[in-house]
Structure 1
Amino acid sequence: MVPMNDLLLFGVAALVVVLTPGPNMIYLFSRSICQGRRAGVISLLGVMAGFLVHMLAAAIGLTALFMAIPLAYETLKWVGALYLLYLAWQAVRPGARSSFEAHRLEVDRPRKLFLMGFLTNLLNPKIAIFYLAIFPQFVSPEHGAVFLQSLVLGFTQIGVSFTVNLMIALSAAGIAAWFSRNPVWLAMQRYVMGFVLAGMAARLATEQRHVT
């Protein structure tokens, strides 16, 4: 099974990724402000359904394939590191917007809220690359069944994402009001996130893992 140290590190990676600017958080934050907490939570359930699709796709075949081929593993390691650097740049680049800046959205029915949350996550390139490039780095055949490891990691990521996004959906209005009164902290949030992402990219690029 996944060693506890690796699981904790993966949890940190999942937390950092969910806090970076991306379609999921921006959509949920904006939906909660424009249509209220209930709409935000319904949209969040759709997002979680999208995570299940990503996780199962990785658990069923992709992770096992990539871990079995050293060249593919090395390629994915560098793709993952470069993508984390890209996210870091997106956080600190001039003109970048924080995830905590809302967009105006029209009022939608519950069924459409769920569907939009699902599609927003299913088509989210940040999550797809996370599962294809970063997720496999924490799976190793020497720790047991790859499928079970993938499920443990996948549900850990889903749990972290659900907790963070639920807090955001329930307190979006208060968060938006606080950041509007404290714009300096809004900028600092982006730079801190960029620094953390760059550090994770460096660690991923330099980590050595035995692949059997």
Structure 2
Amino acid sequence: MFGIVHFPFFVAAVFLLNVTPGPDTAYIVGRSVAQGRGAGLMSALGICTGCCVHTIACAFGLTAVLAASATAFTVIKFAGALYLIYLGVRLAFSSAGKSQQARSDAAQDAALAAKSLRQLFLQGFWTNVLNPKVVLFFVSFFPQFVSSETEHKALAFLTLGGVFIAMSVVWCLFLVWVASGVTRRLGGKPGVKKWLDRVVGSAFVGLGLKLATATR
């Protein structure tokens, strides 16, 4: 089908990759624990949308060009690292500010909530798009399941990408559901919530530093 080979092995490999903890898993779990189910959900959807970008780039050869450029790899690596560090610092020091920004107007609260969800989606999206390790994964993993003789390479990559993203969405939703349970149990304890924010923020900073020191 479309030049795809060893499809059952591809599905099995994607399942194993999903259940193996990685930066995206840590990010989704962190958001879910620190900010609840809605935040985790929007972060997961943002990350999976980022995978759509990588899939399209891989299908049309853009990912291979990017992976071959040491300069592009370095630029994206540091951009992604700085972005994660920024998000971590912002989360770690956000609790005090939030306690002083309560508003009584319900419509304004709803507008702010909608804006916050959009921001969470975009943050998840950019943490995935700006991760050069994801670029290298797509360019090294997907071609193994596409026949070199097929005339439909782009369609094969898009199909595999669709399967990868669908399986990832299911797994990410499961992670959000499990991790957000922690927040639901501790939501009424502001002191605990503040420390959760700080711990998760510190974890994001750690992920950013790890990405900054990553090699090809």
Q: TM-score, normalising length from structure 2?
A: 0.56
| Partner deviation per Cα, 1:22-58 (whole Å, 9 max, x = no partner) | 2211010011111111111111111121001100000
Shift of 1:20: 2.6
Q: Which residue of 2 aligns with 1:120?
A: 127
Q: Which residue of 1 aligns with 2:6?
A: 6
- Whether 2:55 is the aligned partner of 1:55: answer yes
Q: Distance in 2 between matches of 1:114 and 1:166?
A: 14
**Gapped regions of structure 1 (runs ≥ 5):** 66-71, 73-103, 177-212
Shift of 1:166: 0.9
Q: Distance in 2 between matches of 1:121 and 1:64?
A: 17
Q: Which residue of 1 aligns with 2:187?
A: none
Q: Which residue of 2 aligns with 1:161?
A: 168
**Gapped regions of structure 2 (runs ≥ 5):** 69-90, 96-112, 184-216
| Partner deviation per Cα, 1:159-208 (whole Å, 9 max, x = no partner) | 111111111011214589xxxxxxxxxxxxxxxxxxxxxxxxxxxxxxxx
Instruction: State the secondary structure of the residue aligned to 1:140.
Output: coil
Number of residue pairs matched?
139
* Superposition RMSD in Å: 2.9
Q: Distance in 1 between matches of 2:3 and 2:182?
A: 36
Shift of 1:10: 1.0
| Partner deviation per Cα, 1:49-101 (whole Å, 9 max, x = no partner) | 10011000000125899xxxxxx9xxxxxxxxxxxxxxxxxxxxxxxxxxxxx
Q: TM-score, normalising length from structure 1?
A: 0.57
Letter in 1 for 2:126: L
Please list, as runs of the form range in 1=range in 2, the aligned pairs for 1:1-212 lying within 5 A after superposition: 1=1, 6-61=6-61, 106=94, 109-174=116-181
Structure 1 pair 4/131, CA: closer, same or farther in 2 (3 Å)?
closer
